Structure 1
Amino acid sequence: MSHALSSSRPLPFEQGPPRFDVGLAPIEPQAWLMPDDQADWLAPKNALMDTESDAVFASVTGSMPGQLEAAQLVATACGQSFDPGEPPLFAASRLVSDDLVLMEMREGAWTNTALCLCSPTFFSAHEAIGKSLFALHRPVPGGDPGLGGRISRVFSLLRDELVLERFNWTVQWSDARYTPDATPLRAAATAAALDAARDALHVRVERQTIRRLPQTGAVLFTIRIRLYRLADLLADQALASAFQQAWHEANQDVRAYKKWESLERHVAALLCDYAGNP
């Protein structure tokens, strides 16, 4: 993945359709979590954590050392401290817009042992907790064992102080960040008139990073969500051309996995309006 995507407005569709590959590239450690360009999400995120803590956080027995090391690393990067009265990973998640996912080796497989998931792209913390990389990637075409195995090897070979970054993207109906279940969004899109697409369609970009925790050997996986109204992007001719190409080049496996069928007519209408294509 190109370092150009690490700009203030990473738009990975400029590099083509979503791909089921590892796509990780190194970044400077100081660029890991700061500056947090999505800091406006912190207040509603913390409110969500206060009201839905059981829904957004999960952990397994034995994860506390890894949680604590991860929380200390996040707090140091932010120049802040975390509340010692809360589970460490949960408390550290209050400091950044990113979701935090702790992966540890369990019974020979990298396994999710704790996570705080406030901006999930259509899955929940309790669906992920306790699952291996292979199980987490099973829904992805070629994910188990192919992609899961490749990511597992990357995890196992991570060096201290190395931070790796990748981007993923999709299109969704609405600007909601907390989306553990996409069913209501897809139902709304299916029922909506075409003129609703201009305000409702958004490109959802995931900025993902991984880094090794030196003391415990765990891996901390972070996810930062950025949302862009598609109509605003299409107003730029170059972006409209790039998006149109990426959208049309996405193969059927991608479209089926992303469940884009409810959005197809809306995207086509916007492309017609903004890209000048029939």
Structure 2
Amino acid sequence: MTLGFSVGALMRHARGGGALRMGLVRVAENDWLQGECDRDARAAVFDAHPDSVAVLPEGEAAVAELCALLVAPDLAAAARTHWEDLCLLAPGADGQYRLIAAALGFPTDWRLADKMGRPLTAIHAPIHGYAEQLAAGVDHFFATLKAGAIFGRANWFIVASDDWRYLPTDDPATRFAHVTADNAGRALFLRCERQTLRRLPETGAVLFTIGIAVEPLAALETPIVRRVADAVTHISAGEHERRAAPFYADALARYAAARDDLVEAAE
């Protein structure tokens, strides 16, 4: 089973609403990272945001190992020549995995400076239900992941732009104020994260990669739009608000219903 790189392919593996889950699939070495990519876009973002690369002193050995693996002189160069953002985590004295180095060019609503040096539970603190539903499983996975194995998963968000960097600072009510059932296909975008995890054999650090794919709803197949609309209605209350769903959920549901009606009329 392959994870794929497009929004359509990734959504086959993404969870719907309900309880949080890792939803991991095995990834073959030759399917690990995206091949052809827009390297100009990657270079431009790191030129414009040099603070998007950070390495703690305890992360230097892991960065050197990663750069040897990716045949790059340093972490910034590795991130410029690959589509994926690169995050390295290693256990501290307390055994908790912490973010020790990262090149984050295309973040989805989080800032590197806020996460550096922090453990997994603190990194994921904004996600409602993470501590109760997912933290123990994630900690166990990180502790037991074997070198040589690669796992992947997909995450998704409904957003208001197709910008590669998604760091909105405006009020959600303003951000989604223009969205209606009639224009949702053009005004709303499905943003997917293709995430992979593998352990570096020498340092034992875990590499977490994030590759972004974005499409307007109008470009997606109707079953995907329906699945996303249904998932939004079943997201837990806290996550519903964190994802700004109250400001687009109704328009999304009505847009999905209209798409369904068109499909039925054509059959």
Shift of 1:184: 3.1
Structural RMSD (CA): 2.4
Q: Could you list the runs of 4 or more consecutive aligned residues of structure 1 that deviate by over 4 angstroms after TM superposition? A: 13-16
What secondary structure does 2:99 align onto? strand
1:244 counterpart (195, 217, 229):
229
Deviation by residue 1:40-60 (Cα, 9 ceiling, x = unmatched)? 2x2122111012112x12221
AA in 1 matched with 2:176: T
Distance change (3 Å), C-alpha of 1:16 and 1:141: same
Instruction: Show the counterpart of 1:212.
Output: 199
AA in 2 matched with 1:17: G
CA distance in 1, matches of 2:162, 2:201: 37
Shift of 1:72: 1.7
Report how many aligned residue pairs link the two structures.
258
Shift of 1:257: 3.1
Farther-moved stretch of structure 1 (169-178 vs 240-249): 240-249
What secondary structure does 1:248 align onto? helix
CA distance in 2, matches of 1:177, 1:156: 32
CA distance in 2, matches of 1:267, 1:4: 29
What secondary structure does 2:261 align onto? coil
Are the equivalent residues in 1 in contact too, given 2:5–2:34 (CA < 8 A)?
A: no
What secondary structure does 2:230 align onto? helix
Question: Are 1:192 and 2:190 an aligned pair?
Answer: no
Unaligned runs of 5+ in 1: 76-81
Distance change (3 Å), C-alpha of 1:104 and 1:216: same
AA in 1 matched with 2:4: S
Unaligned runs of 5+ in 2: 263-267
1:258 counterpart (243, 260, 265):
243
Shift of 1:150: 1.8
Equivalent residues in 2 for 1:168-183 (5 A)?
A: 168-179=155-166, 181-183=167-169
AA in 2 matched with 1:99: D
Equivalent residues in 2 for 1:12-91 (5 A)?
A: 12=11, 16-18=15-17, 20-36=20-36, 39-40=37-38, 42-54=39-51, 56-75=52-71, 82=72, 84=73, 88-91=74-77
CA distance in 2, matches of 1:266, 1:13: 23
Deviation by residue 1:179-227 (Cα, 9 ceiling, x = unmatched)? 2x33338354333152553322100111100100111110110000110
Distance change (3 Å), C-alpha of 1:268 and 1:123: same
Q: TM-score, normalised by structure 2?
A: 0.86
CA distance in 1, matches of 2:100, 2:13: 34
AA in 1 matched with 2:49: E
CA distance in 2, matches of 1:185, 1:11: 29
Equivalent residues in 2 for 1:226-237 (5 A)?
A: 226-233=213-220, 236-237=221-222
Q: TM-score, normalised by structure 1?
A: 0.83
Shift of 1:35: 2.8
Deviation by residue 1:129-182 (Cα, 9 ceiling, x = unmatched)? 111111112222232365233212111111111001011111000101102x33
